[in-house]
Structure formats: structure tokens, C-alpha cells
Amino acid sequence: MASYASSTADSTSTGEEIHEPLSILQPLSYSANSCGYCAEVKGARSRAKSSKSYGAWAHALSAELYSSLLDRGWRRSGSYMYKPDMRNTCCPQYTISLDANGFKPSRSQRQVLARFNAFLRTGEREGQPGWGPQASQEASTSGTPRAPTAAGTGGADVAMGEPAPGKKKDKGRGKGKANQAEAADWGESVHAGDWDRSLQHEPFRHRFEFTLEPASYNDEKFQLFKRYQIEVHEEPASKVSEKGFRRFLVDTPLDMEPTVSPDYSYGSHHGLWRLDGRLIAFAVLDLLPGAVSSVYFVWDPDYSGMSLGKLSALREAQMVREMEKVGLWPKGTGRYMMGFYIHTCPKMRYKADYQPSFLLEPETNRYVPWAQCKPLLDVSRRVLSFTDPASASSAAPPHARSGTPPTPPPEDASMADSDNEMNDDDDAAFPSPPPPGCLDPHELPKELLIDTFVLEKRTLMPLLLSSAWHDPVTQIEVRELLATTGDAGKGKLAIWAGR
């Protein structure tokens, strides 16, 4: 949905004045839903409706406002926006943010990069399970042409650090220095196998291409998504629909917004991974001022051995650094947003492998270093303030099994789960006191009310002069939305009350 108006935003790093599109949000309600992380059966949802959050529908959303809302604990699923109630929800979900400039890949992460690049350059691991279709060797001669190959020649193998035929690998000599060099140049390693980055047009065994495009639908993406959901997440085929795919991974309230660089636009994108012309993975990404936000990642089960999820995270962290380098935001401030982190969910622990990371403190909406948060979360499943141990609670949700923690499904594993969450929710009263990090809807700052607009019959009205404000029911809905968005939407938000 196109924006109806625009407002003047802060100047860019180049000093030029820009106009930020006015965002349009429709308040829904505070609600209780079943939970995909507390279920006793994999892929199912909890019996109790113990997942508590506030929700809104975004008809139009500027990249600037969404970036600010992420920093207040919000997240989008398609055009549905929600903020978990960190005091009352069963499984606390913490916003996690990686300092992309301070990040240095671990040894295991560098090894993943090295293995992938060796596969692209020399065909190492070709034919092994998880490194392509079992018939890939035969298909390569009749399918999409690959780059000219030098695989199998002794010179190429030695250049990649592999031993010549008949010689053993030197497993120790010089490894420390090599690892140090890899750590220093990890950004270059991310692109070492990119076909279009090869200035010498090296004779790679495989042609790998990564392209970034606005989020859009085509059957190739959907078929890969369908296979991924069925084979990796064991979702019934009947629940994987084109409608659901469009709704959650294509449709977006974010308009494409130009930046100071012709190579990047703010908004929702698909990052396509092609190997020898075949789509083997794609990332759903929101490019925002100061951040790249990861939404979802889909990969071909035939390539499960490549650790494509880790490769994608490394590439996206490097993307933040590259966007910063071309002047999209001040140096040293770029962040890679990896969504929500649930400490009690084993499938989410990988997010803490990327450091230095920070968790959003629920009570203050400020970021706290992971190293400070972890000891508290190890003891208490719910921490509202990482500087006040008294805010911690180890109480389990009332429906949770005793003994060992449940085994939850992977994060965002099921699009049907997201659909169910919106369909099976029960409206509930906005809690008092309000959720952590929210304002009191009955005591909103006057300045916030003055600087908020309402969309009525396609006309933009100041909130306090609108009929919505003078309707008791609608006023409550508006107050609850403003309580959860806070001053992030000040002067940037128009509320559509559905009337």
C-alpha cells in the first residue's frame, strides 16, 4: 500500500535533507496465542494460549520507523507486526543485534567458508552427501553450463592448499598464521567464490552467483520453499501453500526507498543463491537504515552439507559492512539483526555464536552486551532488566512439562504456525502495568498525541481533532498502539482505525 504523505526526517550522513514516508499502522489488539516453542510434539503448538503479545497491521511502513520499532522489541511477519509481552509471555523473545564491524568469524565459521570456496574452485567434496544431487556429476554435462574447470590438475589443487597426488596434508605447520590471515580478511573470503568478483576469471569448477532483488514471487522460489518446508521442517504438504508463501515471504509493508548508493535500496529483498544456474537458496532480508534484518532463509536439502545457513549469516553480516562503506550510515554503527533469541530454545542458540552481540533489555529498550546477559539467562528463563537481578524469574509457563525442557521447532520453521498464530488468537485486555518497554496508555505524553495523525476516509487528520479520538472504543485502541510504539512513531505515524 503506498504511503499517503511524507514527513521530513533527519538529514543523512551527507547532510542532505530526505523525506521519510509516513507510515500507516492499524491497531489490532493485545492477544494470547498458542506457542510453537512450548509444544510437546515437534511441529505442533501448545495447548494453552500462553504466548502473549500486542499486534498491529502495517499498511505502509518506512524503513526508518521499522528500524526504530525493532529497537523497541517489535518484529514483522509479512505485514503483521507484533511485540511480545516479555513479562507475561511463556517463552521470552529477546531482540538480538550483532555489531557487524566488531564481528570476527570463529574458527568453525571460517572453516565453513573455506569448504564452500574449495567446492566452488576445485570441486572438493563433489558427490558427497549434502553437496549436491547424487546425479550431479552426470547432470553437470547436460544441464546449465558451468565455468571452465581446472579441477583435477595438480597445479590448481596445490594453489588451493591441497596436497599433490600421493602426498599427505601438513596438518599443523603454519596453521596459526593462516587462521590469523583468514580472520583479518574474512570479508574477502565471503566473496572468494563469487563468479562476478573474480577479476582473473579463474577456472572455477562451479559458477556461484549471489544477486539481491526486491522481494517478489516466482514459481522457482515457491517450489524451493515448498521442498524446504516439507523435507527440512517436516511440514505436511497440504499446509504449504502459495498463498502462505506470498503472505509471509513476499508481501511487505516496506516500500522500496532509494539510498545514497545506487547499489542498495531500503526495503524488503530476496538474496538469491545460484549454483551453476540452479537456485539452491534464498534469503529474505529487510535492508534498513543502519541495519540488515534477517527474516527467513530457505535452502535446497540436496546441499545440506554446505551449512548454507551459516554462510548466509556471514554474507549478510558482511553486507552490513559494505553498505556502511558506501556511506549509507555513520562508520562503526552498522548492525546485523538476527530476529528474536529465546535462551531456552536450543534451535536458537546458534545466534549467540556471532559476537559481539547485544540483547534488547525489555524494561529499558537499550542494548546490553551478550556477555552480561548470558549468566543471568543461564539461571533465569525471564530477565526484564540485565542490570537488576531482582527482575529475573525462573518460573516456567504453566503448561510446560516438568523435567527436561521441551524440544521446540526451529525458529520460524512453519509458515502455517505463523498463520495459526493470527487465526487462533484470543483478544485480551491490555495489561496493567503495561508490558515492559511500553508506555502507560492512560498517561501518554502530550507531545506524542499532538504529533500523531489519523487516516479517516483517505484524509489525514491530527489525532486530537479526529472522530477516532472522540470515539471511546477507538481511542482505547489508539492509546494502546501508541503505548507500544512510543516516541519511535512521533511525527512519522498515521493510524488507520479501520473506519
DSSP 14: T
* Same domain assignment for residues 93 and 112: no
Q: Which of 51-65, 105-119, 139-153, 276-290 has the lowest mean pLDDT?
A: 139-153
Phi, psi of 205 (to 5 degrees): -70, -35
User: Which cell numbers in the block locate residue 93?
Assistant: 523473545
Q: Tell which residue, 72, 17, 136, 26, has the closest CA to residue 486.
A: 72
Which of 396, 422, 443 is where one domain is finished?
Answer: 443
Domain count, the chain: 2
Residue 59 domain flag: yes
Tens digits of residue pLDDT in 184-210:
579 999 999 998 876 666 778 999 999
Checking if the pLDDT of 135 tops 80, the result is no
* Same domain assignment for residues 49 and 74: yes
Mean pLDDT, range 421-446, rounded to an integer:
87
H/E stretch holding 257: strand 257-258
Q: What pLDDT does residue 340 have?
A: 97
Q: What pLDDT does residue 184 have?
A: 52
Q: What pLDDT does residue 19 have?
A: 67
pLDDT confidence of 18, banded at 50, 70, 90? low
Which of 443, 470, 494 is where one domain is finished?
Answer: 443
What share of the chain has pLDDT > 70, as a percent? 76
Give CA–CA dist 87/438, Å, rounded.
11
Checking if the pLDDT of 23 tops 50, the result is yes
Mean pLDDT, range 389-405, rounded to an integer:
48
pLDDT confidence of 229, banded at 50, 70, 90? very high
Q: Provide the sign of the torsion angle of the four alpha carbons 342, 343, 348, 352, taken in this order.
A: positive
Range of the domain at 158: 107-162+183-208
More confident residue, 290 or 178: 290
* Same domain assignment for residues 94 and 114: no
Residue 347 domain flag: yes
Q: Model-level pTM?
A: 0.84
Residue 258 domain flag: no
Q: What pLDDT does residue 438 have?
A: 98
Mean pLDDT, range 474-484, rounded to an integer:
98
Tens digits of residue pLDDT in 215-226:
999 999 999 999
Checking if the pLDDT of 409 tops 50, the result is no
* Same domain assignment for residues 139 and 89: no
Residue with cell 534451535: 347
Give CA–CA dist 255/19, Å, rounded.
13
pLDDT confidence of 394, banded at 50, 70, 90? low
Q: Which of 105-114, 180-189, 226-235, 377-386 has the lowest mean pLDDT?
A: 180-189
* Same domain assignment for residues 437 and 355: yes
Q: What pLDDT does residue 411 have?
A: 41
pLDDT confidence of 372, banded at 50, 70, 90? very high
Residue with cell 505463523: 418
pLDDT confidence of 416, banded at 50, 70, 90? very low
* Same domain assignment for residues 115 and 87: no
Give CA–CA dist 144/103, Å, rounded.
37
Residue with cell 511502513: 61
* Same domain assignment for residues 201 and 114: yes
> What are residue 281's DSSP bridge partners?
273, 299
Residue 278 domain flag: no
Give CA–CA dist 286/309, Å, rounded.
17
- What one-letter code names the amino acid at 7? S
DSSP for 336-387 reads: EEEEEE-TT-GGGGGGGGSSSEEEEETTTTEEEEHHHHHHHHHH-SEES-TT
Give CA–CA dist 172/159, Å, rounded.
18
At CA 73, angle to CA 243 and CA 71, rounded to 5? 110
Mean pLDDT, range 322-343, rounded to an integer:
96
Mean pLDDT, range 63-77, rounded to an integer:
98
CB-based contacts of 405: which residues, under 8 Å, 6+ apart?
344, 346
Output the CA–CA distances (angstroms, integers) from residue 276 to 210, 303, 443, in the order listed.
Answer: 11, 13, 59
Q: What pLDDT does residue 292 have?
A: 99
Q: What pLDDT does residue 346 have?
A: 87
What share of the chain has pLDDT > 90, as a percent? 69
CB-based contacts of 25: which residues, under 8 Å, 6+ apart?
56, 57, 58, 59, 61, 81, 481, 485, 489, 493, 494, 495, 496
Checking if the pLDDT of 384 tops 90, the result is yes
Q: Which of 42-46, 89-93, 374-378 has the lowest mean pLDDT?
A: 42-46
Which of 173, 208, 243 is where one domain is finished?
Answer: 208
H/E stretch holding 211: strand 208-214
Give CA–CA dist 73/222, Å, rounded.
30
Residue 92 domain flag: yes
* Same domain assignment for residues 187 and 139: yes
Q: Which of 122-136, 242-256, 402-416, 484-498 has the lowest mean pLDDT?
A: 402-416
Output the CA–CA distances (angstroms, integers) from residue 45 to 144, 409, 418, in the order listed.
Answer: 42, 9, 11
Residue 175 domain flag: no
Q: What pLDDT does residue 2 have?
A: 39
Q: What pLDDT does residue 251 have?
A: 98
DSSP 184: H
Secondary structure class of 81 (helix, strand, coil):
strand
Q: What pLDDT does residue 410 have?
A: 36
Q: What pLDDT does residue 197 have?
A: 74
Q: Tell which residue, 251, 245, 254, has the closest CA to residue 288.
A: 254
* Same domain assignment for residues 354 and 438: yes
Residue 238 domain flag: no
Give CA–CA dist 455/472, Å, rounded.
17
Average predicted confidence (pLDDT) for the chain: 83
Residue 67 domain flag: yes
* Same domain assignment for residues 343 and 380: yes
Give CA–CA dist 311/118, Å, rounded.
14
Checking if the pLDDT of 298 tops 90, the result is yes
Q: What pLDDT does residue 486 have?
A: 97
Q: Tell which residue, 194, 282, 252, 285, has the closest CA to residue 23.
A: 252
Checking if the pLDDT of 123 tops 50, the result is yes
Tens digits of residue pLDDT in 136-178:
444 444 444 454 433 333 333 323 333 334 434 444 444 444 4
pLDDT confidence of 304, banded at 50, 70, 90? very high
* Same domain assignment for residues 94 and 113: no
* Same domain assignment for residues 57 and 151: no
Alpha helices in 145-218 (DSSP H): 154-159, 175-184, 186-190
pLDDT confidence of 460, banded at 50, 70, 90? very high
User: Which cell numbers in the block locate residue 62?
Assistant: 518506512
